[in-house]
Amino acid sequence: MPERPTLKKLRVQDSPSTASSQARPVDKRFLFRVDGQVKTSFSTKEHAVTAGAAMKKAFPIVVVTVVDTEQGTTETISNH
Percent pLDDT > 70 in the chain is 76
Sheet-wide strand order for 73-77: 37-42, 30-34, 64-68, 73-77
Whether the per-residue pLDDT at 13 is higher than 80: the answer is: no
pLDDT digits (tens, 9 = 90+) for 31-68: 999 999 999 999 999 999 999 999 999 999 999 999 99
CA triple 55-56-58, angle to 5 deg:
65
Specify the pTM: 0.65
Domain extents in the chain: 27-77
Residues in CB range of 31: below 8 A, 6 or more apart: 38, 40, 41, 48, 66, 67, 69
